[in-house]
Structure 1
Amino acid sequence: MKSRKLFSIVCLTLAATFAAMPGAASAQGQDTLQVATDATFPPMEFTMNGQRTGFDVDIMNAIAKAMGKNIQWTDIDFKGLIPGLIAHRFDVAISGIYITPERSQVVDFTQSYFAGGLVALVKADSPIKTLADLDGKKVSVQVGTKSVNFLRDNYPKVTRIEVEKNQEMFDLVGIGRADAAVTGKPAAYQFVRTRPGFRVLDKELTTEAYGIAVRKDEPQLRDALNAALAKIKADGTYTAIVQKWFGPNAK
Structure 2
Amino acid sequence: MKLKKAASLSLAAALALSLAACGSSTGASDVPDGDGDPATLTVAMECAYAPYNWTQSDDANGAVQIRDSSDYAYGYDVMMAKKIAEALGQEVQIVKLDWDSLIPAVMTGDVDCVIAGQSITSERAAQVDFSDPYYYASIITLVKKDGPYANAQSVADLSGAVCTSQLGTIWYDICLPQIPEADILPAQETAPAMLVALDSGACDVVVTDRPTAQAAVAAYPDLVALDFGGGENDFQVSEEEINIGISMKKGNTALQEAINEVLATMTTDDYNAMMDEAISVQPLSK
| CA distance in 1 between partners of 2:272 and 2:175 (Å) | 33
| Structure 1 pair 138–62 and aligned structure 2 pair: CA distance change class (3 A) | same
| Structure 1 pair 238–176 and aligned structure 2 pair: CA distance change class (3 A) | closer
Q: Does the 8 Å contact 2:133/2:245 carry over to 1? A: yes
| Structure 1 pair 100–176 and aligned structure 2 pair: CA distance change class (3 A) | same
| CA distance in 2 between partners of 1:242 and 1:173 (Å) | 23
1:27, CA displacement in angstroms?
Answer: 4.9
Identity %: 29
Does structure 1 residue 96 correspond to structure 2 residue 86? no
Structure 2 counterpart of 1:125, from 124, 136, 146: 146
| CA distance in 2 between partners of 1:237 and 1:182 (Å) | 25
| CA distance in 1 between partners of 2:258 and 2:109 (Å) | 18
- SS state of the match for residue 241, structure 1? helix
Does structure 1 residue 217 correspond to structure 2 residue 251? yes
Does structure 1 residue 46 correspond to structure 2 residue 54? yes
Higher mean Cα deviation, 170-179 or 42-51? 42-51
Q: What per-residue deviation string (whole Å, max 9, x for no partner) do you get for residues 145-184 of structure 1?
A: 1112213553363222211011111111112111111112
- TM norm structure 1: 0.79
Q: What per-residue deviation string (whole Å, max 9, x for no partner) do you get for residues 191-212 of structure 1?
A: 1023211101121535611110
Q: Does the 8 Å contact 1:62/1:237 carry over to 2? A: no
1:239, CA displacement in angstroms?
Answer: 7.3
Q: Which of the pair has more CA radius of gyration?
A: 2
1:112, CA displacement in angstroms?
Answer: 0.6
Does structure 1 residue 34 correspond to structure 2 residue 42? yes
| CA distance in 1 between partners of 2:86 and 2:161 (Å) | 46
Aligned-residue Cα RMSD (Å) equals 2.4
Q: Does the 8 Å contact 1:38/1:45 carry over to 2? A: yes
Higher mean Cα deviation, 163-172 or 201-210? 201-210
- SS state of the match for residue 35, structure 1? strand
Higher mean Cα deviation, 170-179 or 145-154? 145-154
Alignment of 1:85-234 (within 5 A): 85-128=106-149, 129-130=152-153, 131-151=155-175, 153-155=177-179, 157-161=181-185, 162-203=187-228, 205=235, 206=237, 208-231=242-265, 233=266
| Structure 1 pair 181–240 and aligned structure 2 pair: CA distance change class (3 A) | closer
| CA distance in 1 between partners of 2:42 and 2:112 (Å) | 5
Higher mean Cα deviation, 110-119 or 80-89? 80-89
List alignment gaps of at least 5 residues for structure 1.
Answer: 1-25
- SS state of the match for residue 157, structure 1? coil
- TM norm structure 2: 0.70
| Structure 1 pair 27–40 and aligned structure 2 pair: CA distance change class (3 A) | closer
List alignment gaps of at least 5 residues for structure 2.
Answer: 1-33, 58-70, 230-234, 281-286
Q: Does the 8 Å contact 1:139/1:158 carry over to 2? A: yes
What is the aligned length?
A: 220
| CA distance in 1 between partners of 2:76 and 2:101 (Å) | 21
| Structure 1 pair 240–121 and aligned structure 2 pair: CA distance change class (3 A) | closer
